[in-house]
Amino acid sequence: MKRLQNFLQQLGADEAGARMYALMERLYPICRSITGPGVRQTLDILQEFLPLQRNEVPTGTQVFDWTVPNEWTIRSAWIKDPAGACIVDFKRCNLHVVSYSTPVHGQMSLAELKKHLHSDPEHPDWIPYRTSYYQESWGFCLTHRQLLSLQEGEYEVCIDADLLPGSLSYAECVIQGNSPTEVLLFAHTCHPSLCNDNLSGVVLLASLGQYLRRCHLNWTYRLVFAPATIGSITWLSRNQEGLDRIKAGLIVSVAGDPGSITYKRSRHGSALIDRAAAHIVRQGEKPGTILPFSPWGYDERQFCSPGINLPIGRITRSPNGAYAEYHTSADNLDLVQAGHLQDSLHRIMQILHVLESDRRYQNLAPFGEPQLGRRGLYRMMGGYTNIGALQHALLWVLNYSDGLHSLLDISEMSGLDFPTLQHAAELAEKSGLLSPQPLSLEHCAIPERNLPLHQHTS
Amino acid sequence: MKRLQNFLQQLGADEAGARMYALMERLYPICRSITGPGVRQTLDILQEFLPLQRNEVPTGTQVFDWTVPNEWTIRSAWIKDPAGACIVDFKRCNLHVVSYSTPVHGQMSLAELKKHLHSDPEHPDWIPYRTSYYQESWGFCLTHRQLLSLQEGEYEVCIDADLLPGSLSYAECVIQGNSPTEVLLFAHTCHPSLCNDNLSGVVLLASLGQYLRRCHLNWTYRLVFAPATIGSITWLSRNQEGLDRIKAGLIVSVAGDPGSITYKRSRHGSALIDRAAAHIVRQGEKPGTILPFSPWGYDERQFCSPGINLPIGRITRSPNGAYAEYHTSADNLDLVQAGHLQDSLHRIMQILHVLESDRRYQNLAPFGEPQLGRRGLYRMMGGYTNIGALQHALLWVLNYSDGLHSLLDISEMSGLDFPTLQHAAELAEKSGLLSPQPLSLEHCAIPERNLPLHQHTS
Amino acid sequence: MKRLQNFLQQLGADEAGARMYALMERLYPICRSITGPGVRQTLDILQEFLPLQRNEVPTGTQVFDWTVPNEWTIRSAWIKDPAGACIVDFKRCNLHVVSYSTPVHGQMSLAELKKHLHSDPEHPDWIPYRTSYYQESWGFCLTHRQLLSLQEGEYEVCIDADLLPGSLSYAECVIQGNSPTEVLLFAHTCHPSLCNDNLSGVVLLASLGQYLRRCHLNWTYRLVFAPATIGSITWLSRNQEGLDRIKAGLIVSVAGDPGSITYKRSRHGSALIDRAAAHIVRQGEKPGTILPFSPWGYDERQFCSPGINLPIGRITRSPNGAYAEYHTSADNLDLVQAGHLQDSLHRIMQILHVLESDRRYQNLAPFGEPQLGRRGLYRMMGGYTNIGALQHALLWVLNYSDGLHSLLDISEMSGLDFPTLQHAAELAEKSGLLSPQPLSLEHCAIPERNLPLHQHTS
B396-436 pLDDT per residue, tens: 999 999 988 999 999 999 999 999 999 999 999 999 999 99
Q: Is the dihedral of CA C1, C3, C4, C6 positive or negative?
A: negative
DSSP strand pairing (A154-164 vs A104-109): antiparallel
Fold of C360-450: Arc Repressor Mutant, subunit A (1.10.10)
Chain A contact set for C134 (CB, 8 A) = 371, 373-374, 380
pLDDT at B285: 82
pLDDT at residue C446 tops 50: no
- pLDDT of C457 > 60? The answer is no
Does B452 score more than 50 pLDDT? Answer: no
What is the model's pLDDT at position B443? Answer: 67
| Closest A-chain CA to C95 | A383
Residue B2: the pLDDT is: 87
Binning pLDDT at 50, 70 and 90, where does residue C382 land? Answer: confident
State the pLDDT at residue B455: 36
Indicate the fold that domain B361-450 takes in CATH: Arc Repressor Mutant, subunit A (1.10.10)
**Alpha-carbon separation of residue A258 from A110, A338, C131 (angstroms):** 40, 10, 52
Does C10 or B456 have the greater pLDDT score?
A: C10
Q: What is the pLDDT of residue A214?
A: 96
Name the residue among A382, A396, A458 with its Cβ closest to that of C295.
Answer: A396
On the question of pLDDT at A93 being above 90, the answer is yes
List of chain A residues whose C-beta atoms are within 8 Å of the C-beta of residue B458 = 321
Give the SS3 label for residue B435: strand
For residue A309, the SS3 value is coil
- DSSP one-letter string for B55-106: EEEETT-EETTEE---EEEEEEEEEE-TTS-EEEETTT-GGGB-BTPPPEEE
Q: Is the pLDDT reported for residue B337 higher than 50?
A: yes
Give kind and range of the element (H or E) at residue C312: strand C312-316
**Percent of chain B, pLDDT > 70?**
95
Most confident range, picked from B46-50, B284-288, C287-291: B46-50
Please indicate whether, in this complex, the C-beta atoms of A66 and B384 are within 8 angstroms of each other.
no
Pick the range with the lowest mean pLDDT from A25-34, C71-80, C440-449.
C440-449
Residue pLDDT, tens place only, A241-283: 999 999 999 999 999 999 999 999 999 999 999 999 999 999 8
CB of C351 closer than 8 Å to CB of C29: no
- Pick the more confident residue, B319 or C223: C223
Average pLDDT over residues A411-417: 93
Tell me what the mean pLDDT of segment A62-90 comes to.
97
Q: Is A292 within 8 Å of B456 when comparing Cβ atoms?
A: no
* Residue C455 binned pLDDT confidence (cut-offs 50, 70, 90): very low
User: Residues 6 or more apart from C276 whose CB is under 8 A from it?
Assistant: C248, C351, C354, C355, C358, C408
Asked if residue B215 has pLDDT above 60, the reply is: yes
Give the residue-averaged pLDDT of A373-392: 81
Q: What is the mean pLDDT of chain C?
A: 94
Q: What is the mean pLDDT of chain A?
A: 94
> In 3D, which of B186, B168, B138 has the Cα closest to residue B66?
B168
pLDDT of residue C322: 87
Average pLDDT over residues C330-338: 98
* Pairing label, strands C220-226, C182-188: parallel
pLDDT above 50 for B47: yes
Instruction: Quickly list H helices, B292-334.
Output: 300-303
Q: Note whether C209 contacts B: Cβ–Cβ < 8 A.
A: no
Residue C103 pLDDT = 97
Asked whether the predicted pLDDT for residue B22 surpasses 50, the reply is yes
Say whether A367 and C293 touch across the interface (CB within 8 A).
no
* ipTM summary value: 0.93
Question: Residue C453 — pLDDT band, cuts 50, 70, 90?
Answer: very low
Identify whether the C-beta of residue C343 lies closer than 8 Å to the C-beta of residue C316: no
What would you report as the CA-atom Rg of chain A, rounded to the nearest whole angstrom?
26
Assess whether pLDDT exceeds 80 at residue C83: yes
State which amino acid sits at residue B36.
G
Which strands make up the sheet holding B434-436, listed edge to edge? B402-406, B360-363, B434-436
Q: How far apart are CA C397 and CA C413, in angstroms?
A: 11
Report CB contact under 8 Å: A457, C267.
Answer: no
In this complex, the residue of B118, B294, B301 whose CB is nearest that of residue C457 is B294
Name the band, by pLDDT with cuts 50, 70 and 90, for residue B165: very high
pLDDT at B457 over 60: no
CB-based contact, C399 to chain A, within 8 Å: no
Q: Is A155 exposed, middle or buried (0-12, 13-18, 19+ CB in 10 A)?
A: buried
Q: A388 falls in which pLDDT band (50, 70, 90)? A: confident
Whole-angstrom distance between the N-terminal and C-terminal Cα of chain B? 37
Whether the pLDDT of residue A447 is over 80: the answer is: no
Distance in angstroms (rounded) separating the CA atoms of residues C444 and B426? 46
Phi, psi of B37 (to 5 degrees): -65, -30
Q: Give CA–CA dist A414/A394, Å, rounded.
A: 11
What pLDDT, on the 0 to 100 scale, is given for residue B456? 34
Residues of chain B with CATH 3.50.30.90: 73-164
Report in angstroms the alpha-carbon separations of C430 from B67, C396, C403, C407, C424.
22, 17, 18, 16, 10
The residue-averaged pLDDT of B371-397 equals: 85
Nearest to B10 by CA among B342, B326, B315: B342
Instruction: Please tell me which residue, B456 or A169, carries the higher pLDDT value.
Output: A169
d(CA B87, CA B81): 6
Each residue's pLDDT tens digit, C245-258? 999 999 999 999 99
Answer whether A327 sits within 8 Å of B385, measured CB to CB.
yes
- Cβ pair B134:C381 closer than 8 A: no
Query: The CATH number of A71-164 is which of 3.50.30.90, 3.40.50.300, 3.40.640.10, 3.30.43.10?
Result: 3.50.30.90
C383 confidence band (pLDDT: 50, 70, 90):
confident
Q: Where in chain A is the domain with CATH 3.40.630.10?
A: 4-68+167-357
Mean pLDDT of C85-90: 97
pLDDT at position A442: 84
Q: Does C191 touch chain A (CB under 8 A)?
A: no
pLDDT of residue B349: 98
The model's pLDDT over B166-195, given as tens digits with 9 standing for 90+, comes to: 999 999 999 999 999 999 999 999 999 999
Residue B120 half-sphere exposure, CB side, CA atoms within 13 Å? 21
Which residues 96-115 in chain C show a CB within 8 A of chain A?
Answer: 98
Whether C387 shows a pLDDT value over 90: the answer reads: no
B268, HSE (Cβ side, Cα atoms, 13 Å): 21
Contacts of C389 in chain B (CB under 8 A): none
Chain C contact probe: residue of B33, B65, B198, B298 with most C CBs at under 10 A: B65
Q: What value does the mean pLDDT take over residues A366-389?
A: 84
Q: What is the pLDDT of residue B102?
A: 97
Q: Write out pLDDT tens, residues B338-359.
A: 999 999 999 999 999 999 999 9
Domain with CATH 3.50.30.90 in chain A: 71-164
- Domain B73-164, CATH 3.50.30.90 — does that match? yes
Quote the pLDDT of residue B185: 98
Contacts of C294 in chain A (CB under 8 A): 396, 414, 454-457
Stretch B388-392: mean pLDDT: 90
pLDDT of residue A444: 61
Query: What does CATH list as the number for B4-68+167-357?
Result: 3.40.630.10
Instruction: Kindly state the percentage of chain C with pLDDT values over 70.
Output: 95
What pLDDT does residue B137 have? 95
CA B329 to chain CA centroid, Å, is 21
Q: Percentage of chain B surpassing pLDDT 90?
A: 89
- φ/ψ of residue B192, rounded to 5: -75, -135
How many whole angstroms separate alpha carbon C221 and alpha carbon C360? 22
Q: Which residues of C touch A381 (CB under 8 A)?
A: 98, 118, 130-132, 135
The per-residue pLDDT for A342 is 98
Q: What is the pLDDT, as a whole number, of residue A2?
A: 87
Report CA torsion sign: C48, C50, C56, C57: negative
